[in-house]
Amino acid sequence: MVTYEWKCTWGDVDPAGIAYYPRLTIAMNRAGEEFMDARGLPYWEAPDRYGVHFPVVAMDMEFESPVRVGDVVSIAVEPELGTKSFGLHCVGSHGDGSVAFRGNERHVCADSEENRSLEIPPEIRETIAGTTE
């Protein structure tokens, strides 16, 4: 599991002082980037190293408690591997441990040149799963 710390700033909130939904999806996406980077496979290196890229094909989020300006949210990321895609399950928690949101990103493995889906190569599968650590 990888955890990413995100601080809610003034530009992230609506007039009521609560984090604006698109800002939380950006934070969740950033947590996914940090997860891949921690596994040694930054998204931006995959095309050159493996000839693939990982576009997001689905995303969802459920809110459990508000995130307010100044809050620091820890976003824990866990992978789930499919044949041609992988999910990143995220849980955003407040400093007291209460859950702010739960979310998921689904990434497809796509050929960099033809942009068609393909099976996740074994080396990338092992990297995402963390079995090469």
Q: Give the tens place of pLDDT for each residue, 90-123.
A: 999 999 999 999 999 999 999 999 889 999 999 9
The reported pLDDT for the residue numbered 104 is: 97
Domain 2-129 homologous superfamily, CATH: Hotdog Thioesterase (3.10.129.10)
In tens, the pLDDT along 115-124 reads 899 999 999 9
The pTM of the full predicted model, rounded to 2 decimals, is: 0.90
Where are the extended beta strands (E) located within the chain?
Answer: 2-7, 52-53, 56-63, 72-81, 85-93, 99-108, 110-111
Q: Is residue 133's pLDDT more than 70?
A: no
DSSP states along 120-131: PPHHHHHHHHTT
